[in-house]
Chain A
Amino acid sequence: MILTNIESVPGMTITAQYGLVTGSTVRAKNAIKDFGAGLKNMVGGELKSYTELLTEARKEAIARMEQQAFRMGANAVINVRLATSSVTVGAAEVYAYGTAVKVEPKG
């Protein structure tokens, strides 16, 4: 599956489009890691466990979007956008959306 966040796939032509596909996920870390992050908060710096959480969430959201596109019969998703929002403290929502299309190599 080809993913781009531009409105075309360079070097390929779009032959069919299937509409918007989305994927979202809300994830949280466990209480121990939250406590650790709270301590790290006092001294400053990067919160590694939360970065990990964000990475996992992003992967899952994109995977869900890909799955949906795959079921439609698409082989690429163009114009992918990622959005984040905070639901509660210590939880992150990542939302991915794009347009599912079918592409073929030029010429």
Chain B
Amino acid sequence: MEDIIFLLILLGITYATGSIIEKRHYENIRKREIALIKKPIINFGAKKWNTNRKIKKIELVTGECVISGDYFKNFVASLKNLFGGRLTTFESILDRGRREAILRMREKARGANFIINTRIESIMINDTYTKDSVPQCAIIAYGTAVTYE
């Protein structure tokens, strides 16, 4: 009985903290994405990138993010796993992580005209999947920033 009460309290707390953090994070991401809306990023240009304009600067830009879910999300996902279907709680974690990493990369290249050949690399750090371990995802986004003269 005590175990169940403890679990419920834990779930309640982590639900509250998790949803507050997620809401704030999404607001933050949206604000920054709107600020960068005029800066295009593209993921082609690896083979041949030709332009007639003079190029001032070329550099590799990267953005990193390590994001984790919370206890509540993990609990819901483990229940959903029984029936299959979309694990919406995990989708939002990965979505936030990717967008954050891409935003960090774009913010480093503020002066550049655009970023070409963007790649996104992600990996689960916590691969020992047990009931108590929460997925942690490390994401690196990188690309080449081109600045015209």
Contacts and interface: CB of A to CB of B under 8 A. Distances in A.
Interface of A: 2-11, 37, 40-47, 50-51, 53-55, 58, 62, 79-86, 89-90, 92, 94
B140 A54 contact: yes
Given A6-B49, A44-B18, A82 B140 contact: yes
Interface residues of B, number: 51
10 contacts: A3-B60, A4-B60, A37-B68, A42-B70, A43-B14, A47-B66, A50-B125, A89-B126, A92-B125, A94-B140
Contacts of A58: 62, 64, 140
A86 B21 contact: no
Nearest to A83: B121
Contact of A42 (B14, B22, B64, B123): B14
A46 B58 contact: no
A46 B142 contact: no
Interface SS of chain A? mixed
A89 B17 contact: no
Given A46-B67, A86-B138, 9 more contacts: A7-B48, A8-B48, A9-B58, A42-B71, A43-B70, A44-B18, A44-B22, A44-B69, A81-B119
B60 A11 contact: no
A100 B45 CA distance: 19
B83 to A, nearest CB: 23
Contacts of B144: 4-6
A89 B66 CA distance: 13
B140 A89 contact: no
A103 to B, nearest CB: 10
B65 A46 contact: yes
Contacts of A84: 121, 123, 138, 140
Contacts of B142: 5, 80, 82
Given A47-B136, A82-B142, A86-B123, A6 B66 contact: no
Interface string B116-149: 1101010111111000001010101011101000
A48 B46 CA distance: 32
B48 A41 contact: no
